[in-house]
Homo-oligomer: A and B are copies of this chain.
Amino acid sequence: IQMGLAENQLSLDLIEQWSVDHPEASICTAQGASQFRRIANFQDYHGLPEFREAMAKFMGQVRGGKVTFDPDRVVMCGGATGAQDTLAFCLADPGDAYLVPTPYYPAFDRDCCWRSGVKLLPIECHSSNNFTLTREALVSAYDGARRQGVRVRGILITNPSNPLGTTMDRGTLAMLAAFATERRVHLNCDEIYAGSVFAKPGFVSIAEVIERDAPGCNRDLVHIAYSLSKDFGLPGFRVGIVYSYNDDVVACARKMSSFGLVSSQTQHFLARMLADAEFMARFLAESARRLAARHDRFVAGLREVGIACLPGNAGLFSWMDLRGMLRERTHDAELELWRVIVHRVKLNVSPGTSFHCNEPGWFRVCYANM
C-alpha cells in the first residue's frame, strides 16, 4: 500500500463536480469556447489579472480571513518546486546557506539546491519538545554556520510542517521574525499546507504574525511560498506562488517568472473556481472534515496496536513513533525496520532519515492519497 506520497485525493470529487457544474470556466466547452482564443493566446508574464486577484483573495480566505494579500505581490512559478527555486535565485548566491529545522521535506535539496547552488544546514529539533523549533537551536545552527565560514542568507520553514503534521505556534513565528530582523537573514515560509489544517490549534500564517504580533520586524525579509498542489490535490496543474513583502524580490521573481508561468488554460479555470468564495468556504470546511476523519481513524487504529504518533493537526500525514521497535537506536536499525515494513508488511512509508531527522525510529505515513 502506497503511504509514501503526500498526495491529497480526499476532496478532488468536489472540484470535479464544480468543474462539471461550471462549463463556462473551461475554454474547452461549448459554454466557454468564446474565451478560447483570448486565453490560449495570452502570454503576459504577470499572469491573468483575474487569476492573481482570485489567488490573493483565496490566500486570505485560507488563512482565516485574518490577513489580506496584494495581487501585485503574487508571482507565478512552476509549482512549489519552481517557487522555491525562484526564491533561492532571488535571495541567495551559490554557496550561501539556508537554515532548515529538522525533520524537513527532502525535496528542498532539489528545489533550493540543484539549480541555485544554495546549501541547506539543519537546525536540530528533538522529540523531547515535540520537535518545536527553539531560539537556542536556531542560534546554535546560525553560529555553527558562521564558524564554518558559511554565509547564512535565510531560514526556511514549512508551516504546517511536512513531515510532522503540526503547525508552528505564534510565539515561535514571532521569535523567527525577530531573529531574521536582528541578523538580517531572510525568512522563507513554505505554507503549501495552509489549507490542510483540520484540528486545533489552528493555523497561524507568518502574514498574520508580521501584521499583528511583530509589527517591528523587517518585512523586506519575509517571503511566502504557496501552491495548490497539496490543499487541492492538484500537483499536475503546476501552480506555484511566490508572495514577497520585498519589492525587489517581487520584481526579480516576476522577471524570472517567464520561465515557469502557469498554463493560461489552468489559470483561467482556477481563477473562476477560486473566486467562487462560497464554494471555496464549503470546500475548505469539507476538506478539513475529511482530513480529520481520515487522520483520527488512522491514529486510533495505530493506537489500538500500541503505536503512537506525534500529536498532529495538519497535513496529509502522521509522524509515527516506532522507536520502541528498533533493534538499537541507530539510523541503520531504522532502515532495517523500514525494509521490514516495506517488504513484509507491504506498506510504503518514509523513514525519518530521509527527512534528515537526527533521532532514529520516526516514520512519515501518508493517509490522504487513497
Task: Tell which of A14-22, A132-140, A294-302, A305-313 binds the partner.
Answer: A14-22
Which residues of A (14-51) have their CB < 8 Å from a CB of B? 15-16, 19-20, 23, 25-30, 33, 36-37, 39-43
Considering the chains assembled together, what is the distance between the CA atoms of A16 and B110 in angstroms? 38
What B residues does A279 contact at CB under 8 A? none
- The answer to whether A9 and B41 touch across the interface, beta carbons within 8 angstroms, is yes
Known: A7-B41, A40-B234, A41-B235. Is A79-B115 also a contact (CB below 8 A)? no
Q: Is A263 within 8 A of B260, CB to CB?
A: no
Chain B residue numbers with a CB within 8 Å of A235 are 41-43
Which listed residue, B37, B40, B266, touches A265 by the CB 8 Å rule?
A: B266
Name the B residues within 8 Å of A43 (CB-CB).
229, 235-236
* Residues in chain B near residue A25, CB distance under 8 A: 28
B19 pairs with A27, CB closer than 8 A: yes
Closest to A45 in B: B81
Q: With a CB–CB cut-off of 8 A, which chain B residues contact A265?
A: 236-237, 263, 265-266, 269
Q: Determine if A233 is an interface residue (Cβ-Cβ < 8 Å).
A: yes
Contact segment of A142-150, A251-259, A337-345 = A251-259
CA distance A56 to B46 in the complex (A): 31
A40 touching B256, Cβ below 8 Å: no
Check A12 for interface membership: any CB of B closer than 8 A: yes
Q: Which residues of B contact A26 (CB under 8 A)?
A: 26, 28-29
Chain B nearest CB, measured from A242 CB (Å)? 13
Q: Which of B15, B16, B41 contacts A234 (CB 8 A)?
A: B41
Interface string of A85-110 (1 = CB under 8 A from B): 10001000000000000000000001
Interface pair B82/A259, CB less than 8 Å apart: yes
Asked if residues B37 and A9 are in contact (CB atoms below 8 Å), the reply is yes
State in angstroms the CA–CA spacing of A115 and B20 once bound together. 40
Which of A7, A28, A236 is most buried by chain B, counting CB atoms within 10 A of its CB? A236
Q: How far is the CA of A40 from the CA of B15 in the complex (A)?
A: 10
Residue A262 is within 8 A (CB to CB) of chain B in the complex: yes
Verify A236–B12 contact, CB threshold 8 A.
no
**B contact residues around A13 at 8 Å (CB):** 37
User: Judging by beta carbons under 8 Å apart, are A30 and B20 in contact?
Assistant: yes
Chain B residues with CB below 8 A from A16, complex form: 33, 36-37
A189 interfacial by beta-carbon distance below 8 Å: no
Interface residue? A315 (CB, 8 A): no
Assess the B262–A259 pair: CB atoms within 8 A.
no
Q: Are the CB atoms of A233 and B40 closer together than 8 Å?
A: yes
Asked if B20 and A33 make an inter-chain contact with CB atoms under 8 angstroms apart, the answer reads yes
Contact (Cβ within 8 A) B264 A236 = yes
Q: Which residues of B contact A78 (CB under 8 A)?
A: 78, 258-261
A28 pairs with B36, CB closer than 8 A: no
A42:B79 contact, CB within 8 angstroms? no
Known contacts A13-B37, A28-B269, A238-B261, then 12 further A-B pairs from the complex at CB < 8 Å, ordered by chain A residue: A12-B41, A15-B40, A16-B37, A25-B28, A29-B29, A40-B233, A43-B229, A110-B258, A114-B256, A238-B263, A238-B264, A265-B265
List 12 A–B pairs whose Cβ atoms lie within 8 Å, in order of A's numbering: A9-B41, A12-B37, A19-B27, A20-B28, A28-B28, A28-B269, A41-B235, A43-B229, A78-B260, A79-B258, A114-B255, A115-B259
The list of the 9 closest CB pairs from A to B, nearest first, reads A236-B264, A26-B28, A263-B263, A42-B236, A43-B235, A16-B36, A263-B266, A19-B28, A78-B260
